[in-house]
Amino acid sequence: MVTLTQAASYSKKIVIYAVFLTIFVILVVIAIGLVRDYLKARVPEPGIITTNGFGKLSGLVFPQENSRPGILTLQTIQGGVPEASSVARIYKTISNPPGLLASSKAQQFARLQGFNSTPTTKTATEHVFNDSLYPARSLIYNLATGNFDLIYNLEEDNSPVLTSKISADSSQILEEAITLLQSTGKFTPSLESGIQKIAYYKYADNEYSLVQNKLEANLARVNFFSGPIDTMDIKTPNTNQSSVYVTFSGKDNRNQRIIQFHYQLFPVDPGSLQTYPIKPGHVAWEELVSGKGYVVNIGTGNQAQVFVRDAYLAFYDPGEFHEYLQPIYVFTGDRGFEAYVPAIDPMWIE
């Protein structure tokens, strides 16, 4: 039978052994760390390998921003800017001179949209068409890209929005816009894989005002946002406006119903892929805090201080011709705040 004295002696030995074992484990962990650091110093990790096949790239040009918060505070789940890839994939946009049939295609397109088939202005790269029945309508067609702008100038004739309200529901408006885009043969796979958003506007005193209540609106716009490339979203200079959109009035007459039909897409050549190094996320954040980058949406409410909750990489589509599709850091925060910072390492920017 074990006496109390013997039990106390055994317990003391167990405690001593446990302390020595703990110290031994700590020393082993420290030793492994020291060996690892030594090996890293003697055998450095290989550097980032990129192709940089386009040479130095032109820097991204953002629009003039309206305002930005007084204080930006980073408050993410990770405690900092989330880790991103150190290599970016860059694509060249497709740009070809107008073909022999480009002018004929432009005139056919104009005729299908209800315009006079003879352009009133004609250059080597662009045709402009007018509508003799509705002089406020015009069409600008780019012969090289097939992009176009169909506009009903409400400053010249605001009758489409004077008395007509938006009566169709959102599903009908979306279906009408998709059908219109399909009829032009320009509902590309990129647009099919993207998302569509409907926004309502009130036009008054020559200004378009975004409204939340459909009952206040006299215009409805369907935005077609391009689908992701390499799992990365494509961002535009205005979060409420895509590079392809259709704006409808409440009129039944087609020529006065389509107020805007804007199509400015610049597809990329998948075979042109090159890789470039990108700046670390914390550097992009420091640039944003120092006043660089572009605040695309300051958000709603009191924006004296904004807490940024997330950051990720996306591609930037400026809405006009750009030689290369480049990545940006996107910072998002409270009440709709969103900002962009160029992602490419500055050493590869002209």
pLDDT tens, residue by residue, 94-114? 988 888 899 999 999 999 999
Q: What is the pLDDT of residues 152-191, one digit of tens each?
A: 999 999 999 887 889 889 999 999 999 999 999 999 999 9
Q: What's the mean pLDDT when you consider all of the chain?
A: 88
Six-digit token pair at 89?
A: 């994939």
Domain 71-93+270-348 has CATH 2.40.350: no
- Domain locations in the chain? 1-45, 71-93+270-348, 147-263
Cβ-contact 246, 177 below 8 angstroms:
yes
Cβ-contact 250, 167 below 8 angstroms:
yes
Tell the burial category of 272 from Cβ atoms under 10 Å away from its Cβ (0-12, 13-18, 19+): middle
Q: CA geometry: angle at 314 spanning 265 and 90, to 5°? A: 70
Task: Give me the residues of the chain with pLDDT under 70, please.
Answer: 1-21, 25, 27-48
CA distance 339 to 334: 12
Q: How many CB atoms lie within 10 A of CB 256?
A: 19
Residue 191: CA count within 13 A, CB half-sphere: 21
Residue 45's pLDDT is what? 41
The DSSP 8-state label assigned to residue 238 in this structure reads: B
Tell the burial category of 7 from Cβ atoms under 10 Å away from its Cβ (0-12, 13-18, 19+): exposed
Q: What is the pLDDT of residues 201-236, one digit of tens each?
A: 999 988 999 998 899 999 999 999 999 999 999 999
- How much is the pTM? 0.82
Six-digit token pair at 205?
A: 């005193």
